[in-house]
Structure 1
Amino acid sequence: MEAGICYIKPEYLVQEGNESSLAVTSDKGETNKRKREEGETEAGKAKDAGGNNKWNKKERKRGQNKNRPVFKDERYSHLCHSLIDGTGGEPCSVPNCRYVHDLDAFLAAKGEDLGPECYVYTTKGYCARGVSCRFAKSHTDELGRNIKQQEYNEKAPTTCNGISSELQVRLRKRDYDFSRCKELIKRAEQLRDARKQTEQKQPESGDALEEQPVQASEADEQPEPATEKQAKCTDTVDTETSAGCVIYDSTTGRDAELKPAVDFRDKLLLSPLTTVGNLPFRRICKEFGADITCGEMACAMPLVKGLGQEWALTKRHESEDVFGVQLCGNNPNMIAQAAQVIAETTQVNFIDLNIGCPIDLIYQQGGGSALMRRTNILELTVRSCAALSDRLPFTVKMRTGIYADKSVAHELLPLVEEWGASAVTLHGRSREQRYTKHANWSYIEECAAKAKRMPVIGNGDILSYEDYVERRKLAPHVSSVMIGRGALIKPWIFQEIKEHKAWEPSSGQRYDLLRKYCNYGLEHWGSDTKGVETTRRFLLEWQSFLYRYIPEALQQAPPQKINSRPQKYRGRDEMETLMSSGNSADWVKLSESLLGRVPEGFSFVPKHKANAF
């Protein structure tokens, strides 16, 4: 069989001359069409100002569709809060209020309800969107007033974190006390400078090199040498030494007394996924068996400035029993400040640093994967953030390196452990590769074998239980596995791994999954017009990955591989064919069956080009 092709059973194939009845087009056809639209020449060349031919660098665009249209809702969707529960309440006391105060005009512009039942009202007993809800008739009385059930509990936990108005004011006025992280940065600088001086003296002195075996033999009988974070722990408790966020009680003399704040071993982790790894999606994955979840990548500077849109990425649902926040930045002071304010004001189990992000904008500013070559900055960041709390692990997610032919993770990973990281996640591709080629699990194993006590989490190309077993055998030193695109394509992969068998949902079950996602989205983003369209947008972004799932009954040689592309085929029923379509117009049709018709002028282009095929 040809490599990279996912062969479909003959009875489901579509003949070449019958393409009009097909809802799914091959990725090769889509690529050729896109190239024709971009006006590329046959040779893929362009002429410069001097008339000389040169290779067109735009031939292989990757990453994001940056020029996609962005839909903005109309003003009528914003009703003044004084009218949310209907007429008869307290009048608006805000001078020059910008929101709509004509309730009749608002209701006329809002249109008909999208359905007879409001999921938020049914599950909670009260819908905070009131008459602006697109399902308002299910929780309004004859007078148009919003109904609140007696059993409704305002203090019932649903989500936590985010930013309070008080904290936002303190951050915007620069009134938050960051003296602690500034002190930790200074200590990290001292440790870094001391390490550099030691490294410079060692080649000049033969005595220093001869002392190393003696130190190593002493380490065989005692716990690992204390890092800067461990030194902080021993300042308070002399009988304890630590490795990362693991505390070892030397009074008992037993390794069984190791008490990790978060156990990263033998777990299934959901990767922090930008845009698509939102709270409703994480709830779906938790229900299918994900052990540890992490919020979308949040940039440190907007967090420190108190921007609500960035703080929304830190929100956590009550079902996420082990939850972390991922930070990204290019300045150790800014990252440390963001880590401090998150540690002190939110409920998280760990903080993760992204040094593998391949996005051009992040990389060009010195953040993301650029930190893998800025080791001085990275050392200050890891040392200071790891020392913030002895019970809040600080982890790092990295790639193999910047370039495909030059891997550096095997050199960087032991250093990150020495600086105090509690765990490292290694994605088996370089920044240059993004998501093309196969993840290098042999290299992941090589790196994991270099870690002394720190868990190493492997990431890349797991789409089935068979993939999981194969990778675990190939990399026995890997402590756990993180799944990203595999969970986007089939979120039930966590269930498959834990049950040791494949699960093939019907098109009806997959549709119910989409309905559940929409309900979670309406609960999270709101059930008014703005919340409905926000839910729709994220549903369509997810559908740009979901359509790639191919039921095993249609494959000649399952399981499906994440980088393989299907031939032209149709599903076993109309819904399965529609769900398998790579045409975004078909995704919009699916959303309309769940969230009502799209607004006039609506168009959708996925954010992620997602080069899996």
Structure 2
Amino acid sequence: MEDTPPNDVVPASATSHADMSAEELVAKAIAPVKREFRCPPPIRTSDNHNDSHADVKTTEKNDGFSAPVIKEKKSKRQLKRERREEQKSALHICPAVAKSGNVNSCQYNENCRYSHDLEAFKLQKPEDLEGKCPFLDDEGPCPYGLSCRFGSTHNDNGDVGNGKIIVERKMRETNVMKKDVQKLLWKNKMKFPKADATLKLLGLMGQAKNKKFGSNENDDEILSNGSGEVNGNGCSKVASNEVVCSAKVVEEDKQDGLDVADEQGPPKKMKSLSDETCPVQISDAEQILHEKDVDKVCEQDELKIIVEHDQEDKSLKLHPREKKLIDFREKIYLAPLTTVGNLPYRRVCKVLGADITCGEMAMCTNLLQGQASEWALLRRHSSEDLFGVQICGAYPDTVAKTVELIEQHCTVDFIDINMGCPIDIVCNKGAGSALLTKPMRMKSVVEASSRSVDIPLTIKVRTGYFEGKNRIDSLIADIGNWGASAVTIHGRTRQQRYSKLADWEYIYQCARAASPSLQVLGNGDVFSYLDWNIHKANCPELSTCMIARGALVKPWIFTEIKEQRHWDISSGERLNILKDYVRFGLEHWGSDSKGVETTRRFLLEWLSYACRYVPVGLLEVIPQRINWRPPSYFGRDDLETLMASESAADWIRITEMLLGKVPSGFTFAPKHKSNAYDRAENG
């Protein structure tokens, strides 16, 4: 058997792009770069940087070509052991000691898991990076002290070495999880009086977790006829006049095919017999007395909290129609973007003109468990004047408790529930796009969540789950009645992924069918101000457009929309945007070695998208379409050529221009390997 041709062999078909006309390139979904800038794909050779997108090492074969060898995978226990050993090295200096420069400043002393050897740390510390410390303009010393990679720029007026506790900096970020809140979540002692009362009222309290996800005949019937009337007892009527109680969602789920038992929520108290029946409309006070008489396992302190909460909020409790509303109309909305849509990136987009920002999707179960990494997704910068967070959950009780938790301990303008995530690990748990096949549960999630908080609640959906079976049009008239203030429709199905362009005609259809009180936002393939103008002109009922991948490729799209022009941005201006991102990243993740490398990895993730941009001055047809594949081309200068490279090694070189040399043994593999040109994954 012949060996597979190596990656550095240029395919014969690739060299023919230089001779094709602009019309032929567009027909093949290839960006029509001007002939004088076109070039054959470069011949790559193996170097110290990994030149492929895979996290692999290379070995030389007998014929001289480099053959990839998969890097050995390590167990979680082995990785944890290596991390502990690494923490004991001199390079991992105790943060308290590094801040103050005094070995006696650590409260744990010899029990500290970090090193206190200042002299050994100074000998092994990497060289300082070029530039100035991002905290120089703050009130007080640099919070990273001796470990800061810009230590040479620190002032001599007592930044470090004085042994005093560092002055608290002016806080620019909010929604930081407090330690006492985390401990309550860890011990499962956090109280959710609003959510519990709402769930009991709707008959959704104490549902079993061993549920199955899949298609259901009742759901299909509701979707097909669009009827979702709710009677006074919290039950839904279907076309056959059969009354289906909301508490029977569990029984529906047992008929489904995909297992969602992995989603473990916080343990709940034993369900009483009364929770299995459909409740009647009673007042809050009667509801509490009913619990006291019937639910024998309910603790007295929990009842006390519910009573106190009702007494405190009785005068402030808002009617659902009196909730604060957010006007999304004509505002440019940056979509919540997994991995890349972090706080430093959102700050860049705010500078470039974004009006609304939203945090990365956070899983409800992880938030309720007090996971610090998940709570970090809720962080908000002071520059984000209109900010929301996005959460994802499968069941009404989980989502309702999460929104109440966020309202109590975070400052946000709205909460968005993701009902469109196509990722397998999310859908298999019954969350994300899987909810589109369960309209009864979808209704319960929105209704329970909206009644548990006073801040606006929005949802994000796709057109449907399966290709060719759009379903939002049958629900759009009822979504506003469930309690949602706005709905964002991504013009693709879950099964389609990015194999076709977004179906904006269907988005227009849904926007026209929605009630006037429900704002409808469109999402999909907005890549220029012309796309924005066309969608707004074709459907005046559309409130605004959400921008996702377009902002990843060119975040200055917000400027283009506001100024109504195609910005032929230079490579120097693009580099300045990257410099701003690095500065924001160092402020967010830290200016020590760990913060520098964290900033580098997230910058590399962004560059894996940004390389798809083709400068306006190089195109024969304007504007660039989001589904066009960039051919190999020369830029107008060396930096522009480097930024157009699809090689991970070149992305690393760009980061070295901003953050210095990468550590020895550094490798990078994009977290999201799928892109606009991949095939659709069947779901």
Question: Structure 1-normalised TM-score?
Answer: 0.80
1-structure distance, mates of 2:317, 2:389: 31
- The answer to whether 1:169 aligns with 2:188 is no
Query: Which residue does 2:514 correspond to in 1?
Result: 451
| One-letter amino acid of the structure 2 residue matched with residue 164 of structure 1 | K
Unaligned segments of structure 1, at least 5 residues: 23-29, 38-66, 205-227, 248-259
Residues 573-582 or 188-197, more deviating: 188-197
- Select 1:549's aligned residue among 593, 607, 613: 613
| One-letter amino acid of the structure 2 residue matched with residue 429 of structure 1 | R
- The answer to whether 1:589 aligns with 2:647 is no
Query: Which residue does 1:351 correspond to in 2?
Result: 415
Query: Which residue does 2:471 correspond to in 1?
Result: 408
> Does structure 2 conserve the Cα–Cα contact (< 8 Å) formed by 1:139 and 1:146?
no
- Select 1:119's aligned residue among 114, 134, 156: 134
- The answer to whether 1:13 aligns with 2:38 is yes
- Select 2:329's aligned residue among 250, 265, 286: 265
- The answer to whether 1:371 aligns with 2:386 is no
- The answer to whether 1:439 aligns with 2:502 is yes
Aligned residues: 530
Q: How do residues 306-345 of structure 1 correspond to structure 2 at under 5 angstroms?
A: 306-345=370-409
- The answer to whether 1:422 aligns with 2:485 is yes
Task: Render the CA deviation track for 1:510-549: whole Å, top value 9, x for unaligned.
Answer: 0111111000000000000110010000000000111111
- Select 1:136's aligned residue among 151, 176, 193: 151
> Does structure 2 conserve the Cα–Cα contact (< 8 Å) formed by 1:139 and 1:147?
no
> Does structure 2 conserve the Cα–Cα contact (< 8 Å) formed by 1:269 and 1:482?
yes
3-state SS of the aligned residue for 2:487?
A: strand
After superposition, the CA RMSD in angstroms is 3.3
3-state SS of the aligned residue for 1:6?
A: coil
Task: Render the CA deviation track for 1:455-487: whole Å, top value 9, x for unaligned.
Answer: 001001011111111222233321111000101
Q: How do residues 533-572 of structure 1 correspond to structure 2 at under 5 angstroms?
A: 533-572=597-636
Residues 189-198 or 471-480, more deviating: 189-198
2-structure distance, mates of 1:127, 1:409: 51
Query: Which residue does 1:109 correspond to in 2?
Result: 124
| One-letter amino acid of the structure 2 residue matched with residue 589 of structure 1 | R
> Does structure 2 conserve the Cα–Cα contact (< 8 Å) formed by 1:189 and 1:380?
no
Pair 1:355–1:524, CA change in 2 (3 A): same
- Select 1:92's aligned residue among 101, 106, 112: 106
Pair 1:591–1:500, CA change in 2 (3 A): same
2-structure distance, mates of 1:488, 1:343: 29
- Select 1:274's aligned residue among 333, 338, 348: 338
2-structure distance, mates of 1:134, 1:423: 45
3-state SS of the aligned residue for 2:531?
A: helix
> Does structure 2 conserve the Cα–Cα contact (< 8 Å) formed by 1:297 and 1:327?
yes
| One-letter amino acid of the structure 1 residue matched with residue 546 of structure 2 | M
Pair 1:266–1:189, CA change in 2 (3 A): farther
> Does structure 2 conserve the Cα–Cα contact (< 8 Å) formed by 1:269 and 1:290?
yes
Unaligned segments of structure 2, at least 5 residues: 1-22, 46-51, 59-72, 205-229, 244-280, 286-309, 678-683
> Does structure 1 conserve the Cα–Cα contact (< 8 Å) formed by 2:567 and 2:616?
no
Deviation at 1:203, TM superposition (A): 8.6
Task: Render the CA deviation track for 1:218-269: whole Å, top value 9, x for unaligned.
Answer: xxxxxxxxxx9xx999x979999654xx56xxxxxxxxxxxx5321222111
- The answer to whether 1:180 aligns with 2:180 is no
2-structure distance, mates of 1:180, 1:241: 14
> Does structure 2 conserve the Cα–Cα contact (< 8 Å) formed by 1:82 and 1:90?
no
Query: Which residue does 1:476 correspond to in 2?
Result: 540
| One-letter amino acid of the structure 1 residue matched with residue 429 of structure 2 | Q
3-state SS of the aligned residue for 1:556?
A: coil
Pair 1:176–1:559, CA change in 2 (3 A): same
Deviation at 1:567, TM superposition (A): 2.4
Deviation at 1:434, TM superposition (A): 1.4
Pair 1:334–1:197, CA change in 2 (3 A): closer
**Identity over aligned pairs, percent:** 42
3-state SS of the aligned residue for 1:590?
A: helix
Task: Render the CA deviation track for 1:41-88: whole Å, top value 9, x for unaligned.
Answer: xxxxxxxxxxxxxxxxxxxxxxxxxx9999998434432133123434
| One-letter amino acid of the structure 2 residue matched with residue 401 of structure 1 | G
> Does structure 2 conserve the Cα–Cα contact (< 8 Å) formed by 1:168 and 1:306?
yes
3-state SS of the aligned residue for 1:449?
A: helix
| One-letter amino acid of the structure 2 residue matched with residue 483 of structure 1 | I
| One-letter amino acid of the structure 2 residue matched with residue 104 of structure 1 | E
Deviation at 1:147, TM superposition (A): 8.2
| One-letter amino acid of the structure 2 residue matched with residue 6 of structure 1 | A
Question: Structure 2-normalised TM-score?
Answer: 0.72
Pair 1:161–1:548, CA change in 2 (3 A): same
Deviation at 1:298, TM superposition (A): 0.3
3-state SS of the aligned residue for 1:296?
A: strand
Task: Render the CA deviation track for 1:66-125: whole Å, top value 9, x for unaligned.
Answer: x99999984344321331234346343315211111112122222110125112223555
Pair 1:193–1:366, CA change in 2 (3 A): farther
2-structure distance, mates of 1:551, 1:156: 39
Pair 1:449–1:238, CA change in 2 (3 A): farther
| One-letter amino acid of the structure 2 residue matched with residue 8 of structure 1 | V
Pair 1:197–1:289, CA change in 2 (3 A): closer
| One-letter amino acid of the structure 2 residue matched with residue 9 of structure 1 | K
2-structure distance, mates of 1:239, 1:109: 59
- Select 1:159's aligned residue among 161, 170, 173: 173
Residues 556-565 or 1-10, more deviating: 1-10
Pair 1:269–1:597, CA change in 2 (3 A): same
Pair 1:239–1:594, CA change in 2 (3 A): closer
Query: Which residue does 1:288 correspond to in 2?
Result: 352
Higher relative contact order (CA 8 A, sep 6+): 1
2-structure distance, mates of 1:155, 1:578: 38
3-state SS of the aligned residue for 1:387?
A: helix
Pair 1:611–1:90, CA change in 2 (3 A): same
